[in-house]
A and B are shown apart, each in its own frame.
Chain A
C-alpha cells in the first residue's frame, strides 16, 4: 500500500467564491474580488484604496450559520470552510475511529479590536471615553472592564479545536501555528509530517484571515507594502507586471482534508485532489521584511529533493506572487536560478491577482487551486498581468492554459524571514469535476 499523503477534501471562503467550484470558475474566468475599500477613509495614506473582500451575501450566510456570541469571525470563517472540506471528503461517513485525528490551523486575527472597520471605530470610541474619564489608572481600568463582556479574542484563546474534535468524533492532535504569510503552506507540511509519523491518519488543515481595520491598514502602510494603484480596483494586484505597486490585503479562509492514502482507500476514497510530494522550509535572519533569492531557491530545491523530483519534472509554478515590487522580482530571480532556460516555457500562475493576499490563509486557498490545476488539467490565467515586467520575465497567461499537469510547485513566503515551498503531484486517480447540476 502506498504511504502517500493525499488531499481528499477542500473548502474555501474567498472574495471570488464561497465554495470550491465557484472559486475555481472565477480563477479560470479571471473574475476579481478586489474592490475599492469604501468602508474606511483612507485619505492621506500612501496605500490601501483596495481590498479583497468576501461578498456580503456570502458573509451573511456564514454569519447566519456559524456566528455565535463567543466565536470570533475568523473562527466562523474557518468552521464554514472546514465543513465544506469535511463534506467533500465524506468524513461525515467515517465509522468509529481507532486513534486521534490532527488539526493544524492558522488564524490571523487582529486581536480584540475586531475584523471590520466599524468594529475598530467602536473600539477606539470606547477607549477614548474610558481614557478621558479615568486615564490608564489600573484599578479604575479594571473596574471599567469588569462590567463588560470580554470576547475570547481578548485572551487569544478559542474553543475551535474542541469544536473540530466534536465534529470528527475523536480527539485531535492540535497545532495552532503562525509563520506569517507562509503559515498556510507550513500548516500543510506540519499535517503531512504528523500523518507520516503514524500519530494520526487524517488531518484537517485550516486558515483564516479577516482584519480589514484602520489599524492594520495603517501598519501595512507604514511598511510601504500595500498597493498604491488608483485605477480600476480589479487591476490593483498584478503579480510580475511592470506596473505593480504593492499587495492587496484580503479576507478569506480555506480548509483541506489530508490523509494517508491507505486510510483514504480503506474508507473507499480512491480519488483525491493531490499527493503531497515534498516541502522545503527555511528561515532567514538577514532582513525582517525583504525576501532573498537564495532562500527562495533553497526551499524550492529542498521541496524537489524531498519529493525525489528534478526541476524538469515541474509542470507549472503556483507563485507566491504578491504584486510588491521586491517580492515578485525576487521570486522571479529564484525561479530563473532553479529552472534556467525552462523559464521561457514554464507557466506560472498567481492567485493573488484576483483574490488579494490572504496572509496565512493564502497558502491553503492557493493549494486548492494547485490541486485543481492538476485534476482538471488547466493552469489558471493571470489576467491582471497585461504588461509583464521584463525584470521578472515570468511566463503568465491571460487565458487558461489547458494541458495535462503532473506536478505543481507552490511557494509561500512571509515577513520575519519565512520561506516555504511544496511540490504537489497529480494523484493516480484524480477527483473529476462534479457533474453539472
Chain B
C-alpha cells in the first residue's frame, strides 16, 4: 500500500458478527450455500420480478413474497419513503442484527451504516413513458405536469443513502450513514473497505454494510449488454471459467455484513476480516494485480481458498485469472455467479456471507454451470461437482469487480475463521 502504512499489528481486529442474505435461493446464506453444494441454479427467463421470457438474458430472480417490512407506527410512516430496495435492505439488515443479538431499540452512536446500492433500478421506468405519452395531449407546462403526476416521494425513494436511513432505524446505529457505490464499488467491496476504515480509525465500533441489487430495468440491461454482451443461456457450460461461457448472467439479491472492532463487539465473532481494499488503475488487470498484492501483504495470513468474482465473461474471467492466479497458485477456487448470477452492487457482500459459511463448514462449494474449465485460464483449480474440504485453519481470498469495460475497479478481501485453530463451531450458520 502506501510507503509507510500503519503496521498490521497496529490495526484493530475486525470481525464479522452478523450476516444477512436474500438471494434467488431464499432467505439467508445457508440455503444459498447448500444450493451451490447441490449444484442447483436459479436462472429463468420470467417469473418473480425478473425479465419477461421474451428477453434474451436469463436472470436469477428473488422471490419477493418472502420479504416483509417491519411492523409498527414508525415503520408504517416511513414506508412511503421506501422502495423495493429499501425493503430488501431492511430485511437483510434485520437478519444480520438478529444474528449479532442487536435489537436496534437503543441508540448507538458508535455504530454506523454503509450502503452499496446502485441507481440502475428505477421504480418509474414504466410510469414515465406513460406520462410522456399523456403529456403530448396535456396543456400544463412539463415541470407542472411532472409536479402533479409523478408519484409523491419517488425522488427521495431513489436516493441511495435513503436506504441507509432505514437501516439506521433498524439497527439504532446513529454514528453515520453513507452510500459507496457505482464505478468505485467493485460489487460492494468498496463499501466494506470504507467500513473497515471507519472501524480502524476508532471513529466507530461497528458498521452494518448493506448492499442491494434489485431487478434491473430493461434500459439498464440493454446498456450493460451494449457495453459488454451479457450471457444468453444458463445451461451447463455457461458458468464462470467454462470454455463455453458467453457472458455475465444477471442476478438479484441483497446482503448485509455486520463488521465490529473485536475489542468492542456486541455480537459473537463469526469470522475475521483480515484485509480489504479496492483500487483503480489504468485497466482492470492492473487494478486486480495491485489490489490482491496489497491485501495479501496487509493480511497476516495466507489464504487457503480463493472465492473468485467469476463474472462469466471471457474478458473479465481472463483478466481476473491472469492477475490473481500467480498470487494464489494451487488454491481451490469457486464463485457464486454460476448459481445466482451477478447481483452487481452486492455480489461481494453475498460472497462474503458464503465464505463465512464455507469456513464454518470447512468446505468450499462448487462453481455452478461449470462443465469444462477454459484451458486458456492456466492452472486454475475450480471446485467442480461437489464441495471440497478446506482443511484446518481455512481462510479465503475474495475478489470482486465492477461490470463493464469502463469500470476498472478491483476489490479484494481476506477472510479467516474467527479463531484460526478451529474450523467449525456452528455459529456461522445463518
Residue positions of A touching B, CB distance < 8 A: 40-45, 48, 70, 98-100, 103, 105, 107, 111-112, 120-121, 124-125, 127-128, 130-132, 136, 138-139, 141-142, 145-146, 149-150, 152, 154-162, 164-166, 171-180, 183, 186, 190, 193-194, 196-201, 214-223, 281-285, 288-289, 415-418
Contacts and interface: CB of A to CB of B under 8 A. Distances in A.
Contact of A418 (B56, B177, B184): B177
Contact of A70 (B55, B406, B409): B406
Given A218-B147, A219-B155, A175 B180 contact: yes
A161 B280 contact: yes
A350 B198 CA distance: 30
B156 interface: yes
Interface of B: 1-6, 51-52, 54-56, 78, 81, 109, 112-113, 118-120, 122, 126, 128-130, 132-133, 135-136, 140-147, 150, 152-156, 159-162, 164-166, 168-169, 173-185, 190, 193-194, 197-198, 200-201, 203, 218-224, 226-227, 277-283, 286-287, 290, 294, 402-404, 406-409
Contacts of B201: 193, 196-197
A42 B261 CA distance: 52
Contacts of A175: 180, 184, 190, 194
B91 to A, nearest CB: 17
B313 to A, nearest CB: 15
Contacts of B278: 173-174
A171 B286 contact: yes
A194 B409 contact: no
A222 B152 contact: yes
Nearest to A152: B406
Given A99-B3, A154-B220, A221 B152 contact: no
B177 A179 contact: yes
B129 A131 contact: yes
Nearest to B163: A416
Given A130-B129, A180-B159, 9 more contacts: A41-B142, A45-B147, A131-B132, A139-B55, A158-B182, A173-B279, A178-B181, A180-B162, A416-B165
Nearest to A42: B143
A156 B182 contact: yes
Contact of A282 (B175, B224, B280, B283): B175
A124 B135 contact: yes
A197 B5 contact: yes
What are the 3 tightest A-B residue pairs by CB atom distance, in nearest-first order?
A139-B54, A174-B184, A219-B155
Contacts, number: 296
B279 A166 contact: no
Nearest to B125: A136
B1 A198 contact: yes
A171 B282 CA distance: 7
Nearest to B46: A138
A158 B6 contact: no
Contact of B407 (A40, A112, A157): A157
Contact of B143 (A98, A103, A217): A217
B237 to A, nearest CB: 25
Given A128-B132, A193-B198, A288-B156, A171 B280 contact: yes
Contacts of A173: 193, 277-280
Contacts of A152: 406
Given A145-B219, A199-B2, A283-B112, A165 B179 contact: no
A120 B142 CA distance: 10
A30 B49 CA distance: 54
A158 B165 contact: no
A283 B174 contact: yes
Contacts of B279: 100, 171-174
Contact of A156 (B118, B130, B147): B118
B218 A158 contact: no
16 contacts: A43-B141, A99-B1, A149-B226, A150-B226, A159-B183, A162-B282, A176-B182, A193-B198, A199-B277, A200-B1, A219-B147, A221-B147, A222-B155, A283-B173, A288-B78, A417-B168
A178 B183 CA distance: 13
Given A125-B132, A161-B183, A178 B160 contact: yes
A416 B164 contact: yes
Given A171-B287, A175-B190, A218-B147, A155 B1 contact: no
Contacts of A150: 219, 222-223, 226
Contact of A155 (B2, B143, B178, B223): B223
Contact of B141 (A41, A171, A284): A41
A183 B182 CA distance: 15
B124 to A, nearest CB: 9
A196 to B, nearest CB: 7
